[in-house]
Amino acid sequence: MPRRPRIDIPGLIYHVMCRGIERREIFIDDRDREQLLARIAKHANKESIHMYAFSLMPNHFHLLVRPLSTCLAAFMRRVLTGYAIYFNRRHKRSGHLFQNRYKSFVIEEEAYLLELIRYIHLNPLRAGIVPNLKALATWPYCGYSALMGYVEKSWFEADYTLSLFDAEKLIARKKLSSFMEDGLGARRRGDFVGGGLKRSLGMRPGKAIYRDECREDMQHSIRRNEQNSIQQHNGQLDAQHQAYDERILGSGDFVQAVLSNLDKPTVEEEGNCLDINALIRVVLSFYGITLIELCSGSKRSAISKARSAIILLGIKHCKVLPVELAKILAISPSTVYSIISRGREEPESKIILDLY
C-alpha cells in the first residue's frame, strides 16, 4: 500500500518520532546528542517553530512541535540531513542513518498536549536512562529539565507549558512534578504513537472510515457476541461513527476539521470577500464587547459567541485562514479548528451579516 501524504498544516501541533535504521543507535555519546540539539536550535525559533517537548533516546527521539512560519517537512529535513552527515563523518560510516521517513501525527491540543508532554518526557525514566524524576529534571537531553529550570533553551516553550499549570512558576513546577509522578503509574498509551481515534477504540489503524462501514461492522459484532447488551453495542457504535485517520490523534470532529482542508476556504458566491477587520468591528458592536475582551481568552457567553462568529464567518465570507484567525484572536490554531469542527453558525450570524 502506498504511503499516505503527510498532513503539514502550519499552526497545528505534531508528535514527531524518528528512529535509527534497523533500530540502531543514532546517539553514541553526549557529543552526538548536543549536535542534534544544536541543529534544532539553529532552525527553530519563536517565530517559526514552537517546541513543547523533546526526548533523545539511544536509537530514536521524540519532538512535540508547532510549526508556524515554516512547514514541518522543511524543518525536519534541515535537522535530519545535517545530523546524518555529521554522524557518518564522525563515526566513519556510510548509508542511511534513519529508518524510513520520520513519523508525525497531528494532535488535538486541548485533549492531548499535556498528556503527550508527560509521555515524551517520561521516556528516559521508563527506559532506565535516568533513575528517577529528580535525575530527569537535570538531564539536559529531555525537555523536562528546561521546564524545571535546570537547563536554559531559548527555543523551548517552557513558559507556555508552565502557564498551563499556574501563573506562578514555582507553583507551576510543583504541580508539573506531581503531574509527572502521577504518570509513572499510568499504563502505556499506544495511541500516543499513532493510530488516532481508531486505535483508541481498540481497532487496527487504517484509512478513514465513516458511519455506514462502522454500522455494518457493529451489526456483525452483535450477531457474533450476543452476551453483550444492545445498549452497550449502541454506545460503541456512536463512538465509531466518528471519522478517524492514522495521521491524527483527536476526536472525530477534530479529524474531520483537519481533513476538510480548511486552509483553502471557499465562499458561497463569487466576487469580493468581506473585510475581516470590518467584520470584527460589527461583531464587537453586536455583542457589546471590546477587542481586549475578545482576545482575553475569557469563556463568558458573549465573548465565546463573538469568537465563534468571527471564526465561522471569517472563513466562510472573508477567506481568512484558520492560522491567521488564531493570531487575530490570540488563541491556538487547534482551538480554531475545534470551533470549526463543532460550530454551527449562531442565529445572530445573519443579523451580523446584514449589519455589515
Q: Do 157 and 132 contact (CB within 8 A), yes or no?
A: no
Hey, which residues does 53 pair with through a beta bridge? 64
Q: State how far the Cα of 236 lies from the Cα of 186, in Å rounded to an integer.
A: 24
Q: Count how many Cα atoms sit within 13 Å of the Cα of residue 266 in the half-sphere of its side chain.
A: 5
Kindly tell me if the per-residue pLDDT of 327 is higher than 50. yes
Q: Which of 322, 318, 328, 324 is nearest to 295 (CA)?
A: 328
When mean pLDDT is compared across 206-210, 218-222, 257-261, the lowest value belongs to 206-210
Q: What is the DSSP letter of 269?
A: S
* Stronger pLDDT, 345 or 204, i.e. the higher one: 345
Shared-domain flag, residues 294 and 332? yes
281 burial via Cβ count (<10 Å: 0-12, 13-18, 19+)? middle
Number of domains the chain is built from: 3
- 129: nearest Cα among 31, 27, 22: 27
pTM over 0.75: no
Do 253 and 336 share a structural domain? no
- What's the pLDDT score for residue 41? 93
In-domain check, residue 31: yes
d(CA 126, CA 115): 15
pLDDT at 180: 96
126 and 197 share a domain?
no
Distance between CA atoms of residues 193 and 182, nearest Å: 20
Mean pLDDT computed over 152-173: 94
What's the pLDDT band for 233 if we cut at 50, 70, 90?
very low
Reported as a single tens digit per residue, the pLDDT across 104-148 is 999 988 889 999 999 999 999 999 999 999 999 999 999 999 999
User: Is the pLDDT confidence value at 297 over 90?
Assistant: no
Residue 54 domain flag: yes
Closest CA to 237 of 217, 254, 251, 223: 217
Residues 96 and 216 grouped into a single domain: no
- Judgement on whether residues 106 and 146 belong to the same structural domain of the protein: yes
Q: What is the pLDDT of residue 195?
A: 52
Please indicate, yes or no, whether residues 334 and 235 belong to a single structural domain of this protein: no
Residue-level pLDDT at 33: 97
Q: What strands lie across the sheet with 60-67, from one edge to the other?
A: 49-56, 60-67, 13-19, 103-107, 248-249
Average pLDDT value over all residues in the chain: 80
Query: Structural domain of residue 349, as residue ranges?
Result: 276-355
Of the listed ranges 135-149, 230-244, 297-311, the one predicted with least confidence: 230-244
